[in-house]
């Protein structure tokens, strides 16, 4: 599943091609994604896109009438292509623009979404989301206060979208390693000082991933629409059984919340 940096890079790649462009058609080939596609998405037709924004892992194409909300789910990808490009299997949605380009959603597993948000309103899926991790609203004070009396693992805590959005499995592993915190530790047992360091490492890790992913944008219209996980040096994720880059101890891999979790018993406590 794409994580926040991958979704942000998709937003950056899409924006130059659709901003201020009028929508001339919305083509729905399969209405049943994770949720049924509402008829209101056709309200985009005739309106220019005024902004391409992101909230958590949701992309929004904004117009005066409202916003189309896109989510890639487990297997979805977005491509900017010429409208003459033949339709492929699992191409469920096209948004056509006056410049002859199409934003096409392909989703083999159909866990993605294409929804509608009325102008001036906020969709119910977005109402209870926590702050964006790269904003001032997300800080160590929030993490510390929200963590009090929490007995579950700190890794699950920082992946909770009510606490902060967008800290997915890969970047939770990496941030906890950089902060020297054992992912199994109860969230409520971690000090404010350590949460300060963890907050810094979450911001640093996500910002670096977005920066690295931004280098893939030159040929976005020619790509497969899926930036994937960027060519970056991951310190722990996917490296279970290998040597720690700090102390050369063997990295351990366990399951926390049904997700692969890799850490160094020597460096993380």
CATH number at residue 211: 1.10.8.50
| The pLDDT value given to residue 3 | 84
Active-site residue numbers? 2-3, 57, 259
Please tell me whether 150 is known to bind a ligand.
yes
In the predicted model, is pLDDT for residue 218 greater than 50? Answer: no
Please tell me whether 71 is known to bind a ligand.
no
Looking at the structure, tell me whether residues 152 and 111 fall in a common domain: no
Of 3-17, 139-153, 226-240, give the lowest mean pLDDT range: 226-240
| The pLDDT value given to residue 133 | 97
Please tell me whether 17 is known to bind a ligand.
no
Number of domains in the chain: 2
80 lies in a domain? yes
Give dist(CA 56, CA 10) in Å, integer.
Answer: 13
268 lies in a domain? no
129 lies in a domain? no
* DSSP output for the chain: ---HHHHHHHHHHHHHHHBTPBEEEEEES--BSSSBPPGGGGGGTT-BB-EEEEETTEEEEE-SSEEEEEE-TTT-EEEEEETTSPP-TTEEEEEEETTSEEEEEE-TT---EEEEEETT---GGGTT----TTSTTS-HHHHHHHHTT--SBHHHHHT-TTT-S---HHHHHHHHHHHT--TTSBGGGS-HHHHHHHHHHHHHHHHHHHHHHHTTGGGGGGS-S---S-S---SSTT-TTSB-TTT-PBPEEEEETTEEEEE-TTT--
In the predicted model, is pLDDT for residue 34 greater than 90? Answer: yes
Q: What is the pTM of this model?
A: 0.89
Domain that holds residue 80: 4-123
Supply the CATH number for residue 104's domain: 3.20.190.10
65 lies in a domain? yes
134 lies in a domain? no
């Amino acid at each position: 599943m794409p994580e926040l940096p991958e979704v942000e890079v998709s937003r950056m790649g899409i924006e130059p091609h659709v901003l201020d462009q009028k929508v001339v058609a919305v083509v729905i080939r399969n209405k049943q994604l994770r949720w049924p596609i509402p008829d209101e998405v056709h309200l985009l037709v005739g309106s220019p896109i005024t902004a391409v924004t992101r909230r958590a892992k949701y992309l929004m194409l904004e117009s005066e009438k409202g916003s189309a909300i896109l989510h890639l789910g487990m297997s979805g990808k977005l491509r900017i292509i010429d409208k003459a490009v033949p339709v492929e299997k699992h191409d469920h949605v096209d948004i056509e623009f006056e410049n002859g380009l199409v934003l096409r959603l392909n989703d083999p597993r159909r866990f993605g979404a294409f929804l509608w948000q009325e102008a001036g309103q906020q969709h119910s899926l977005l109402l209870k989301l926590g702050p964006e991790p790269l904003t001032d609203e997300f800080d160590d004070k929030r993490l510390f206060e929200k963590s009090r009396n929490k007995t579950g693992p700190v890794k699950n805590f920082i992946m909770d979208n009510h606490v902060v959005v967008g800290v997915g499995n890969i970047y939770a592993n990496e941030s906890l390693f950089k902060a020297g915190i054992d992912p199994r530790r109860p969230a409520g047992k971690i000090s404010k000082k350590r949460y300060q360091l963890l907050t810094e490492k979450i911001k640093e890790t996500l910002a670096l991933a977005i920066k690295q992913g931004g280098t893939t944008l030159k040929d976005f219209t020619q790509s497969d629409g899926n930036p994937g996980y960027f060519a970056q040096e991951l310190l722990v994720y996917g490296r279970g059984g290998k040597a720690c880059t700090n102390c050369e101890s063997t990295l351990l891999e366990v399951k926390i919340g049904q997700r692969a979790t890799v850490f160094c018993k020597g460096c993380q406590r």
